[in-house]
Amino acid sequence: MSPFAAQAVDTARLALLPLRVEHAEEMAAVLSDPALHTFIGGTPHTPQALRSRYQRLAAGSPDPAVSWLNWVIRLRDEDCLTGTVQATIGPSGHGPTAEIAWVVGTPWQGRGIASEAARGLVDWLDGQAVRTVLAHIHPEHPASAAVATAAGLTPTGEWHDGEIRWRRGHARARASAQP
Ligand SMILES: CC(C)(COP(=O)(O)OP(=O)(O)OC[C@H]1O[C@@H](n2cnc3c(N)ncnc32)[C@H](O)[C@@H]1OP(=O)(O)O)[C@@H](O)C(=O)NCCC(=O)NCCS
């Protein structure tokens, strides 16, 4: 069994809810803009394809030492889903290390939602004693760099698949990617 499991996290405006297969239909609409994939690759999923993906994510990492944690971001006042955050937690020489990422649907961008969600996620990880947090950010993606900064990460000089590694804490990472 994975050592970590996603729990609900509340921030001022948002509820981060552990991702469930039932979220796929609403999320397929939230994530339907092809522009969301400029930096993360791929294309938008149909509801059915997203359901299959969420089933794979819910089944968890094949490596029992690695935890795949995923949340949908609910904007409480508008009672709608707006995006996702994720953390892939694996062991490192300095305790557990999380690699985090975020996506916010185009209609909800520019309202501080990704920054608030990423801060909530990093605070939650801190409460789980996961103090080393990484993100990989394309050098020409200032919005994502601003989100990482808001979450307390700073850029390192390290590159990973054409992206810059950002880090909070000091340990070196080992975390396998989610599908
Ligand atoms: C990156 C992303 C999550 C940002 O979502 P968001 O909810 O709009 O982010 P926020 O509203 O919290 O804004 C974050 C910052 O980016 C800035 N920003 C937003 N769009 C920008 C743009 N096009 N150019 C420059 N800065 C921009 C905001 O002003 C804000 O900066 P500030 O904190 O200094 O005011 C969203 O654009 C996205 O999902 N992109 C596609 C997926 C992706 O690339 N994910 C990153 C993988 S790590």
Residue 76's pLDDT is 98
Residue 54 CA to ligand 1 centre (angstroms): 24
- The tokens for 174 are 């080992």
Q: Using one digit for the tens of pLDDT, what is the confidence trace for 108-166?
A: 999 999 999 999 999 999 999 998 999 999 999 999 999 999 999 999 999 999 999 99
Share of the chain above pLDDT 90, in %: 88
**2 CA to centre of ligand 1 in angstroms:** 31
At residue 107 the predicted structure's pLDDT band, cuts being 50, 70 and 90, is: very high
Helix (H, G, I), strand (E, B) or coil at 93: strand
Distances from the Cα of 126 to the Cα of 129, 164, 165, angstroms: 5, 23, 19
Is the sign of the CA dihedral 139, 144, 146, 147 positive or negative? negative
Mean pLDDT of all residues belonging to the chain? 93
Q: pTM for the whole thing? A: 0.93
Q: With left for phi above 0 and alpha for psi between -120 and 50, is residue 126 left, alpha or beta?
A: alpha
Q: Quick one: which H or E segment has residue 98?
A: strand 97-104
Which CATH number is 9-168 given? 3.40.630.30
Mean pLDDT, to the nearest integer, of 52-65?
A: 94
Domain residue ranges in the chain: 9-168
Atom index in ligand 1 nearest the CA of residue 103 equals 39
Write out the two tokens for 110: 């520019």
The Cα–Cα gap between 105 and 83 comes to: 6
